[in-house]
Amino acid sequence: MTRMTGLLASASVLLAGTAAFAQSDYPSRQIELMVGFSAGGALDLLARQAQPFLQKYLDGADIVVVNVPGAGGAVMNQRLANATPDGYTLGLLSMPGVVTVLFGTDAEYTIDDFEYSGTFTFEPHSIMVGANTPYQTGAELLDAARAAPGTVTIGGAGIGSAAHLALKSLELAAGVEFNFIPSQGAAEMVNQVLGGHIDGGVTTISASYTHHQEGQARVLGVLASQRVGLTPDIPTFAEYGAAVEWGALRGIAAPAGTPQEIMDRITEAVRLTMDDPEFQEIAARNQMVLDFRDGAAFRASVEEVYLTLETMWADDPWID
């Protein structure tokens, strides 16, 4: 070995050792946890409730929640994708929004621009119908849509929204066709259902279940692989032969290229947060549907939704 080769080898070992030390020393400065919506919303609330627990389980790290609203979360998603992959800029991603904006818009990031860590919640979408409709079960609703395509009216937030695409994914899984009635949001849709103007509507289970309990409407099923712990009496559409999972899956992500050691540290902090009885009590008070998935499972969920939307988009684009 020449003297120059030896010097280069020593330098490489030194650089590798420095990088390993930098990772093992994580975190050594403030961490930004970005939220793609304004303060006060469900995602912001989750971030702020999880913050002290994440700090605790990341050895007392200083974590600050930063709101980056705009374009349904896409502004924050883009900023996260472009951030330095060192573990000090994180984002609380919300599915399916991180994927839905990739179709028919000018979003410049892809799902491969992120490293995925642990998830906190999964709140499935649900189908509710008016109390005066004839539909008593999800099977009856699907049978009606199958027998007379396009006649059963189901409302939800506008074209391309999570609610609209939830219904399209159910149509694809069940082989049926509904008549989607877009609204300005979940509140308007609920009023239309309760007023008997449409047969039913699609929204998250937390937005529909209260009306079910009060007898104003019936929630016929959730779009999930298994029943939700907070609503064990509500079947899944998988039980009716339409296996589809669609809902608000929320978890932490980092820019692609963030060292795996750092991602493992973050995932473990999320897991410990989810196991913490105090956090579980907070979640129960706020009717959060807790659902921990590690980085690999989180990524798999994102990829599954993307492939579903890609198939639907190729068949019937929902935005001109």
| DSSP conformation letters of 240-304 | GT-----EEEEEEEEETT--HHHHHHHHHHHHHHHH-HHHHHHHHHTT--B----HHHHHHHHHH
Model pLDDT, residue 147: 97
Place of tokens 């006649």: 151
Model pLDDT, residue 181: 97
On whether both 177 and 107 belong to a single domain, the answer is no
Model pLDDT, residue 105: 86
On whether both 35 and 76 belong to a single domain, the answer is yes
Distances in Å between the alpha carbon of 38 and those of 77, 89, 152, 188? 14, 18, 35, 21
On whether both 150 and 70 belong to a single domain, the answer is no
On whether both 292 and 222 belong to a single domain, the answer is no
CATH value at residue 147: 3.40.190.10
Residue 67 lies in a domain: yes
| Helix axes of 260-275 and 3-24: crossing angle, nearest 10 degrees | 10
Residue 111 lies in a domain: yes
On whether both 210 and 74 belong to a single domain, the answer is no
On whether both 38 and 102 belong to a single domain, the answer is yes
Model pLDDT, residue 139: 97
Neighbours of 32 (CB within 10 A): 16
- Final residue in a domain of this structure, among 191, 206, 240: 240
- Closest by Cα among 169, 151, 149 to 99: 169
Distances in Å between the alpha carbon of 57 and those of 52, 62, 79, 271? 9, 11, 26, 9
CATH value at residue 276: 3.40.190.150
Tokens read off for 319: 């935005």
On whether both 178 and 225 belong to a single domain, the answer is yes
Residue 21 lies in a domain: no
Residue 18 lies in a domain: no
d(CA 46, CA 40): 10
Model pLDDT, residue 26: 95
For CA atoms 269, 274, 277, 279, the dihedral sign is positive
Residue 255 lies in a domain: yes
Model pLDDT, residue 320: 77
Model pLDDT, residue 229: 85
On whether both 147 and 96 belong to a single domain, the answer is no
d(CA 145, CA 150): 7
Neighbours of 24 (CB within 10 A): 10
Model pLDDT, residue 151: 96
Q: What share of the chain is helix, strand, coil (3-state, %, to 5)?
A: 45, 20, 35
d(CA 206, CA 225): 17
Reading the chain (320 residues) residue by residue, the pLDDT tens digits are 444 444 444 444 444 444 444 456 899 999 999 999 999 888 999 999 999 999 999 999 999 999 999 988 999 999 999 999 999 999 999 999 999 989 988 889 999 999 999 999 999 999 999 999 999 999 999 999 999 999 999 999 989 889 999 999 999 999 999 999 999 888 899 999 999 999 999 999 988 999 999 999 999 999 998 999 889 999 999 999 999 999 999 999 999 999 999 999 999 999 999 999 999 999 988 888 899 999 999 999 999 999 989 988 998 898 87
Q: Number of folded domains in the chain?
A: 2
- Final residue in a domain of this structure, among 240, 268, 296: 240
On whether both 53 and 189 belong to a single domain, the answer is no
On whether both 234 and 308 belong to a single domain, the answer is no
- Final residue in a domain of this structure, among 212, 240, 268: 240
On whether both 145 and 102 belong to a single domain, the answer is no
On whether both 111 and 255 belong to a single domain, the answer is yes
Residue 1 lies in a domain: no
Residue 278: domain span: 29-122+247-315
Residue 130 lies in a domain: yes
Residue 51 lies in a domain: yes
Neighbours of 296 (CB within 10 A): 10
Burial class (CB in 10 A: 0-12, 13-18, 19+), 6: exposed
Question: pTM for the full model?
Answer: 0.84
